[in-house]
Copies of this chain bind each other. A is one copy, B any other.
């Protein structure tokens, strides 16, 4: 028998990930909006609190929840600085409120309420016993006044309601059965513009292997475009055995540099720097210089080894051995990747392997790195990542980990749940309006938005999509605007992207021709047709507008032309209304009508609209449907700031 007097049921809270097994994610200052079904038998009035606290704090903070419809309640709190928080719910039957409601009905029906006022006075007197000082005195006075002549006129006194709300009887309160967690990351986890480049191609001198110093010289260029994160592919010594030649050739010439993902050589492994790039000191200098440009360096963590990696010799127990005595190389049968040995996470010595791999993160964190792009996390066990990220974040809550998993949806989601702060997405392959709407709605309107932060990349060194290959500069421009305005986080792999180098290895393939993965390239950053100007503008707009710094308020708007994709974002508070219309056609001019959700309370049209991307101010005279026309020869999109708020959707509130 459980105590029947705890009558309130609390169930189906939202958010609650895997029955509380995983935390939701936020950044400092963000709202956590919680809903739950809260009800009791009968028709008594209830009170419900959202309890929340930062880990380590002794006391719960309390936020009152309010009923919506159908016994659904909602409350919210704002999180503070990075770290872990908890929330849960508590509810009870509010006897005073119930009594007051009923008493009003009795009085209206002209009933004798003498005894009812005595019942109320008892409730108030008990509250007085729970209170102290002035409150206790005021409650005792109120109890007396209720039973005095005309006491029924005091029932609805706001002062009494406030006093009673401060001293509720919570001894029969129901506490929700689980405490749910929030991980608060720093702002950058939610809002970031990434620029990927190969340091070995950073030299201005054709044919010379780039160095960290060359990357430093490139910093003003990258920072000038408005990026936040400069992400470098692996910077470690590169293996010799089975080294790949240019364009992924099976054989390499002696001076071919090989793939930086074939990590490890005689010069060292995951904690060493490729000598041709410079020294560890040079790297630390780069990290510092980047910071001075408002950029942070992100490293690539690829947990695999070339056959020449010191681990192979020192820790053969971490690799799988074939019956012929050789070590198992990476493969996706019938394809073989003989320049790479995967770690064997099922080996007997998995514990020492985990500890060592964790130490790789700690090593680079010590050099000042706080952002990592993790290569192929979906080929290592989830339990490993959950442990590793837990260890890293417990010491360094400011570390941001981007999951590079292009795989099945459930696997990508799970990686996000076990702790990755950002995730690559299928964005690169979503081209039509309907599929962009569907996919981004899935990312921003389902439970996934609570733990998975999309990072939208139009290209990567491995992904030169057909639409980029075919659509020329206009296609790259429109993909850039989509990525940077649909997603609070996005990234490009440059300079190939902004210089519109869209030659594939061969038709039908997504590999770049003369890919930097296998050879050193030299780029002419001033090549005509560079998208640098567009990128600079778009990043500036992103920085100026809170609406574009989060994904939760994204919603799509109707258009009468499927080549025009229209969507809106607002800031958390509904202000800063940004409306984007992108012409998905890289060749032809497209025109049509866009529906703007009218906000009757904010006044009638006409109202002002400013195009932040192309300049110019317009006046829109209709209340909902407005005309747009976009010529890819001039611009891929309108990025419009509205002079009045958009209609808020219920779902925006979170």
Contacts and interface: CB of A to CB of B under 8 A. Distances in A.
Interface of A: 1-7, 9, 11-12, 18-19, 37, 39-43, 70-71, 102-103, 105-106, 108-109, 111, 115, 118-119, 122, 172, 322-324, 326, 332-334, 345-346, 350-351, 354, 377-384, 387, 408-411, 414
Given A345-B4, A346-B4, A351-B1, A333 B102 contact: yes
Contacts of A9: 382, 414
A19 B378 CA distance: 27
A558 to B, nearest CB: 24
Given A350-B4, A382-B9, A383-B3, A410 B19 contact: no
Contacts of A387: 1-2
The 4 closest A-B CB pairs, nearest first, are A109-B334, A118-B323, A19-B19, A102-B333
A376 to B, nearest CB: 9
B323 A7 contact: no
A11 B17 CA distance: 11
Number of copies: 2
A333 B105 contact: yes
Given A106-B334, A115-B322, A334-B106, A379 B4 contact: no
Nearest to A22: B11
A384 B4 contact: yes
A41 B411 contact: yes
Nearest to A351: B1
A4 B381 contact: yes
17 contacts: A1-B354, A1-B387, A3-B383, A4-B345, A4-B346, A11-B414, A19-B19, A39-B414, A40-B381, A41-B381, A42-B379, A43-B332, A115-B322, A118-B322, A118-B324, A119-B322, A172-B346
A39 B2 contact: no
A376 B40 CA distance: 14
Contact of A324 (B6, B115, B354): B115
B118 A37 contact: no
Given A9-B414, A387-B2, A380 B41 contact: yes
Contact of A383 (B2, B12, B39, B350): B2
Contacts of A378: 41-42
Contacts of A1: 351, 354, 387
